[in-house]
């Protein structure tokens, strides 16, 4: 069933307008007809809605009933990802949204190969990543669209969270002792998973993360790609928190 995310304030007289790309998708791809039912998801509710009008630039739906569903996890995971090359970030966002990650922070680190010096280029990347997060949220029946924050440096990220009461997990290929299971014995409500780019973290960055309580862990004997490490870590955290059983 098609899922449309909107603000609660967009609902007037029990009706909501589906606009822009969502309207085009309904009309041209799904061939929506009058009387078809879609899901409308706001910040706090999900509704079953009937299509009552289709025009050139919008689809109007009438909210028939409220649906009591919650497909979200009880723990909050933020994936902080060193920006990788090519389109890997798109895959990372897509797969982690499907798992249940609620927020993404793209990071510029010491060994980040991708250089984004142009503001327009940065905005285009963010727009693309946010679109992927939204589409993946629809596909996986999420109740929210996970946030993709603005790109920040690792140094600024560390400053922004140093006073938070959250578990910071840093997979690192040179760590041999501490495992994820060691760190997850005591469960938290909020987790930051910090993943380096293709070249990994510089030792000074590891030290910086450790200074604010970051738990540097191994993911096993085999080296995982940057696009694999985040999804593996997120899955293990969710499993240990009884969110995948």
Assigned CATH topology for domain 76-240: Alpha/beta knot (3.40.1280)
Separation between Cα atoms, residue 15 and residue 147, nearest integer Å:
26
pLDDT category of residue 77 using cuts at 50, 70 and 90: very high
Furthest C-alpha separation in the chain: 61
What is the value of pTM for the model shown?
0.85
Per-residue pLDDT, averaged over 163-169, amounts to 92
Q: What single string gives the DSSP state of each residue in 70-114?
A: ----SSEEEEEEE--STTHHHHHHHHHHHHT--EEEEEE-TT---
Q: Give, as one character, the DSSP assignment of residue 168.
A: E
Strands 46-54 and 152-153: unpaired
pLDDT for 6 equals 86
CATH number of 3-67: 2.40.240.20
Write out pLDDT tens, residues 190-216: 999 999 999 889 999 999 999 999 999
pLDDT category of residue 106 using cuts at 50, 70 and 90: very high
pLDDT for 238 equals 96
Separation between Cα atoms, residue 186 and residue 163, nearest integer Å:
19
Mean pLDDT of the chain: 91
What is the residue extent of each domain of the chain?
Answer: 3-67, 76-240
242 dihedral zone (left: phi>0; alpha: psi -120 to 50; beta): left
């Amino acid at each position: 069933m098609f899922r449309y995310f909107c603000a609660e304030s967009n609902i007037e007289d029990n009706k909501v307008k589906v606009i822009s790309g969502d309207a085009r998708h309904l009309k041209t791809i799904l061939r929506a007809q009058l009387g078809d039912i879609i899901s409308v998801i706001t910040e706090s509710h999900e509704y079953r809605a009937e299509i009552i009008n289709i025009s050139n630039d919008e689809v109007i739906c009438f909210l028939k009933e409220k649906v009591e569903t919650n497909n979200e996890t009880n723990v909050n995971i933020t994936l902080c990802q060193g920006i990788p090359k090519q389109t890997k970030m798109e895959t990372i966002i897509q797969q982690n949204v499907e798992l249940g990650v609620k927020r993404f922070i793209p990071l510029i680190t010491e060994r980040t190969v991708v250089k984004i010096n142009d503001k327009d280029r940065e905005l285009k990347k963010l727009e693309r990543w946010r679109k992927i997060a939204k589409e993946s949220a629809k596909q996986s029946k999420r109740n929210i669209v996970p946030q993709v924050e603005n790109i920040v440096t690792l140094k600024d990220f560390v400053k922004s969270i140093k006073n938070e009461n959250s578990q910071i997990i840093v997979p690192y290929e040179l760590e041999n002792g501490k495992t994820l299971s060691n760190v997850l014995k005591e469960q938290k409500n909020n987790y930051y998973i910090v993943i380096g780019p293709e070249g990994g973290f510089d030792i000074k960055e590891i030290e910086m993360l450790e200074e604010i309580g970051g738990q540097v862990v191994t993911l096993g004997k085999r080296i995982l790609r940057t696009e694999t490490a985040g999804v593996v870590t997120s899955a293990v955290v969710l499993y240990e928190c009884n969110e995948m059983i």
